[in-house]
């Protein structure tokens, strides 16, 4: 479980953390760099294809290795291909290479999100009530070690091979990413040696055509999203460059238009999927079982407080995630070298996150889930003001240590309580799908907003950006106070 956690922890930082520093050294605009964080939106939409991965056989691999191991091996090989693809792309060569890098990053985001689905399913099915808690803890430890390797390790390697804030060196980043691809072999070897868990008996048996039909609906939705986004880009030059060029904060306007494109693409893609769903060759009972029932169960059990629940889940991490998307750009703009960022932010920072998680777990036992969630939400917003202070005072290694200690300790504490909160909301009859829904919703809105953080920084500067990232955490604090006063949740009492 620790090794699988390590495999899951490798890809995330390669998508927007290390990659943002790579692109920043080239001189790519911050508004473009932070939009790259959308490549990780696969983590926020994974609930859409989690039922397919759960039940649809992957021919040959499923027969050879089993449903879980076959899919897991397939996704791990995709992750390796995506990382190698990124390593072989030099975004400094022009727009076409930047587009190719974006495509590779999206592939990495989708495949790594799918790997998470499978590892979660394997952990649940391969364990029993006695060992599931310790396996979950070991998974988190492995995940954090993987994040240290891909976060700090990539920066150490890039610095060792010659990359710095003063001189761009493509081969330094190339070699670093290729070495990260080699680290993914840990997950591949683990998958080959572990045992396939005992299959869970399914109450319904579906045919190959049923799976293909549902897969078709999913592909239509995805294709509709991409085509809609590209089509609305045709009007961007006219609207932005010709009509709105008198606005000084042009980059922020471009970000707002991109957000509008995103919303239009979602609406049109789901409309297309709905039309396909109406056709006769779709097994509507299958879709009801794998998609509709888990959603309806959530609504029926929590309908009295559904608004507060959605608000808390969708906004709880907004302050932390939005700030985090541009954090690396901030460190580099302040003059910190790659090895300093690796040592303090990535390595020491993750140690503090683990410490915060341990502290959060202890506090939850004593004071309850919702109270510690409230404490974590307040601290997550307040610690962003420390970033604002550094933006105004300048580079200081000593203050960076204090800043990272406070920020990562509070983030670990908040996540420990939040994961407990989500786990208590889940119905064990739909564990995999409902938890995928929650983990998707909790990052979707923050990541969409985070994609525009570079535009905000370009328009208003880092100090104002960190102030904004602190203020947007206030609404979830209000929701948690309301839920405590009205005793919306009975977790702590039970």
CATH class given for the domain over 290-494: mainly alpha
Taking only Cα atoms into account, the Rg of the chain, rounded to an integer number of angstroms, comes to: 22
Do 290-494 and 1-195 have the same topology in CATH?
yes
pLDDT for 97-142, tens place per residue? 888 888 898 899 889 988 988 887 787 777 765 666 567 667 877 8
Tell me which range, 281-290, 331-340, 436-445, is most confidently predicted by mean pLDDT: 331-340
pLDDT for 248-265, tens place per residue? 445 555 556 666 776 777
Among candidates 401, 406, 371, which has minimal Cα distance to 385? 406
Q: Tell me the two tokens of residue 235.
A: 């009007």
pLDDT for 471-492, tens place per residue? 999 999 999 998 888 776 765 5
Contact criterion met (CB below 8 Å) for 338 and 176: no
Question: What's the pLDDT at 377?
Answer: 92
Domain range summary for the chain, segments of one domain joined by +: 1-195, 208-282, 290-494
Question: What's the pLDDT at 50?
Answer: 74
Question: What's the pLDDT at 189?
Answer: 96
pLDDT for 151-182, tens place per residue? 888 988 998 898 877 778 899 999 999 999 99
Q: Tell me the two tokens of residue 211.
A: 């799976």
Among candidates 54, 24, 53, 51, which has minimal Cα distance to 36? 24
Please name the residues in contact with 37: beta carbons below 8 A apart, sequence gap of 6 or more: 15, 16, 20, 325, 447, 450, 451
Contact criterion met (CB below 8 Å) for 453 and 464: no
Mean residue pLDDT of the chain comes to 80
Mean pLDDT of 337-366: 82
**CA angle (64, 65, 69) in 5-degree steps:** 150
pLDDT for 37-57, tens place per residue? 666 666 767 767 777 777 777
Alpha helix stretches (DSSP H) within 127-193:
132-148, 154-160, 170-183, 185-193
Mean pLDDT of 457-463: 84
Quickly state the pLDDT bin for 208 (edges 50, 70, 90): low
Mean pLDDT of 364-370: 83
Among candidates 476, 479, 425, 434, which has minimal Cα distance to 322? 476
Contact criterion met (CB below 8 Å) for 477 and 377: yes
Question: What's the pLDDT at 204?
Answer: 43
Is the pLDDT score of 89 beyond 90?
Answer: yes
Mean pLDDT of 58-64: 81
**CA angle (80, 269, 274) in 5-degree steps:** 115
Quickly state the pLDDT bin for 203 (edges 50, 70, 90): very low
Distances, alpha carbon 321 to alpha carbons 123, 192, 250, 440, 442, in Å: 27, 34, 24, 13, 10
DSSP string for 187-241: HHHHHHHSPPPPPPPPS----HHHHHHHHHHHHHHHHHHHHHHHHHHTTHIIIII
1-195 has which fold?
A: Growth Hormone; Chain: A; (1.20.1250)
């Amino acid at each position: 479980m620790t090794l699988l956690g390590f495999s899951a922890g490798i890809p995330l930082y390669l998508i927007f953390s290390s990659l943002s520093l790579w692109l920043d050294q080239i001189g790519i605009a911050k508004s473009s760099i932070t939009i790259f964080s959308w490549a990780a939106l696969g983590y926020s939409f994974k609930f859409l294809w989690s039922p397919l991965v759960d039940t649809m056989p992957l021919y040959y691999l499923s027969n050879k290795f089993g449903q879980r191991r076959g899919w897991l091996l397939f996704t791990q090989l995709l992750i390796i291909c995506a990382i190698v693809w990124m390593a072989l792309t030099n975004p400094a060569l022009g727009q076409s290479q930047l587009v190719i890098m974006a495509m590779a990053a999206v592939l990495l985001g989708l495949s790594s999100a799918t790997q998470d689905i499978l590892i979660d399913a394997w952990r649940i099915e391969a364990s029993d009530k006695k060992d599931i808690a310790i396996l979950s803890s070991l998974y988190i430890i492995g995940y954090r070690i993987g994040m240290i390797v891909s976060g700090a390790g990539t920066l150490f390697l890039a610095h060792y091979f010659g990359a710095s804030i003063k001189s761009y060196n493509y081969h330094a980043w190339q070699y670093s990413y290729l070495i990260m691809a080699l680290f993914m072999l840990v997950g591949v070897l683990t998958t080959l040696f572990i045992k396939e868990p005992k299959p869970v008996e399914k109450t319904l048996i579906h045919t190959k055509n049923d799976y293909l039909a549902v897969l078709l609906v999913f592909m239509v939705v995805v294709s509709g999203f991409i085509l809609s986004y590209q089509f609305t880009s045709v009007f961007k030059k006219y609207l932005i460059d010709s009509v709105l060029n008198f606005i000084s904060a042009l980059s922020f306007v471009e970000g707002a238009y991109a957000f509008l494109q995103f919303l239009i693409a979602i609406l049109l893609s789901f409309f297309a999927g709905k039309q396909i769903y109406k056709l006769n060759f779709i097994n509507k009972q299958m879709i009801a079982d794998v998609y509709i029932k888990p959603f309806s169960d959530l609504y029926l059990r929590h309908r009295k407080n559904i608004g507060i629940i959605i608000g808390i889940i969708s906004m709880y991490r907004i302050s932390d995630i939005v700030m985090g998307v541009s954090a690396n750009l901030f460190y580099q703009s302040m003059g910190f070298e790659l090895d300093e960022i690796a040592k303090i932010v990535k390595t020491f920072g993750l140690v503090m996150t683990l410490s915060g998680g341990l502290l959060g777990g202890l506090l939850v036992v004593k004071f309850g889930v919702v109270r510690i969630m409230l404490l974590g939400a307040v601290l997550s917003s307040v610690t962003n003001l420390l970033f604002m202070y550094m933006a105004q005072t300048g580079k200081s290694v000593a203050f960076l240590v204090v800043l990272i200690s406070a920020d990562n300790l509070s983030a670990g504490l908040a996540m420990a309580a939040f994961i407990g909160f989500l786990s208590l909301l889940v119905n064990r009859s739909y564990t995999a799908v409902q938890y995928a829904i929650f983990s998707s919703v909790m990052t979707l809105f923050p990541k969409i907003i985070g994609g525009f953080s570079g535009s905000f920084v370009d328009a208003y500067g880092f100090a104002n950006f960190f102030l904004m990232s602190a203020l947007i955490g206030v609404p979830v604090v209000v929701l948690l106070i309301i839920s405590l006063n009205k005793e919306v949740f009975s977790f702590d009492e039970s």
